[in-house]
């Protein structure tokens, strides 16, 4: 009596088409998901100031929030994985063309103002250029209490900030990013794209 045996390779050959199909579908879904995520994270929204040449693009997923009159734009990243959210603000202030202050003077004034922040610590400064205009960029850190309500547990959050002070012939701009320390590197990459898109004069 003869006995027919099926070796393992025959079984594998029979299953390969299904395995390859599943793998291809999975790969296509991953690629589609990555494309959607890339499109979402790279979309931008344009800002144009009515009173000056200032214009730039910022992430479309960041939403506008209420701000004081001297703040041209204030936005927040709602997707920040922290109770304290990433924020960006742009302030504009006129300068006297006859006697404009130096960048260092403007920075010193700003540092003095920031001393009021809890746990303020100045980190660094460097000269820069934004949209063909002179600028100085500084970094600092401070502490916030995102949920300051009785009986609600919330730890203080260390915020890291980067600020560009930009000077034109008759205007100064303060462009500030502040993000929770764990989210700072990602936020700063978006911020630098904003800076590179800026037209100030």
Which range is least confidently modeled, 2-6, 45-49, 89-93? 2-6
The reply to whether 153 falls in a domain is: yes
Q: Is the pLDDT of residue 162 over 80?
A: yes
- Return mean pLDDT, the chain: 88
Same domain, 85 and 174: yes
Q: Are residues 154 and 71 in the same domain?
A: yes
Q: Is the pLDDT of residue 11 over 60?
A: no
- Tell me: do 142 and 153 sit in the same domain: yes
As for how many domains the chain has, the answer is 2
How confident is the model over 48-56, as a mean pLDDT? Answer: 94
pLDDT of 190 reads: 98
Residue 154 has a pLDDT of 78
Q: Looking at the structure, do residues 31 and 103 belong to the same domain, yes or no? A: no
Residue 5 lies in a domain: yes
pLDDT at 52 over 70: yes
Same structural domain, 78 and 144: yes
Give residue 61's pLDDT.
97
* pLDDT surpasses 60 at 116: yes
In a domain, 201, yes or no: no
Structural domain of 142: 44-196
Residue 150 has pLDDT above 90, yes or no: no
Same structural domain for residues 113 and 125? yes
Tens of pLDDT, residue by residue over 66-84, are 999 889 999 999 999 999 9
Record the pTM. Answer: 0.79
Kindly state the percentage of the chain with pLDDT values over 90.
72
Nearest C-alpha neighbor of 180 from the set 159, 149, 201: 159
Q: In the predicted model, what is the mean pLDDT of residues 171-188?
A: 97
72 within domain boundaries: yes
Say which residue, 42 or 10, is predicted with more confidence. 42
| Per-residue pLDDT at 41 | 53
Same domain, 110 and 12: no
CATH number at residue 128: 3.40.1000.10
DSSP structure string for 93-147: EE--TTSPPPHHHHHHHHHHHHTTSTT-EEEEEEEEEETTEEEEEEEEEEEE-S-
Same domain assignment for residues 29 and 69? no
What does the pLDDT read at residue 40? 47
Reported as a single tens digit per residue, the pLDDT across 12-39 is 555 556 666 666 767 777 765 555 454 4
Mean pLDDT of 114-137: 97
């Amino acid at each position: 009596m003869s006995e027919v045996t099926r070796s393992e390779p025959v079984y594998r050959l029979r299953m390969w088409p299904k395995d390859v199909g599943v793998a291809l579908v999975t790969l296509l879904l991953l690629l589609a998901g990555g494309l959607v995520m890339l499109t979402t994270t790279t979309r931008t929204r344009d800002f144009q100031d009515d009173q000056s040449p200032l214009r730039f693009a910022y992430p479309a997923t960041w939403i506008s929030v209420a701000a004081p009159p001297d703040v041209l734009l204030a936005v927040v990243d709602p997707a920040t994985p922290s109770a304290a959210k990433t924020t960006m603000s742009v302030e504009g202030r006129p300068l006297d063309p006859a006697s404009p202050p130096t960048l260092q003077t403007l920075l010193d004034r700003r540092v003095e103002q920031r001393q009021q922040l809890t746990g303020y610590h100045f980190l660094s400064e460097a000269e820069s250029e934004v949209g063909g205009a002179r600028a100085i960029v500084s970094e600092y850190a401070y502490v916030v209490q995102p949920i300051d309500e009785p009986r609600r547990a919330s730890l203080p959050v260390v915020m890291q900030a980067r600020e560009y002070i930009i000077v034109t012939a008759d205007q100064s701009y303060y462009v500030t990013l502040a993000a929770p320390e764990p989210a700072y590197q990602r936020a700063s990459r978006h911020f630098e794209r904003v800076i590179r898109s800026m037209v100030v004069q």
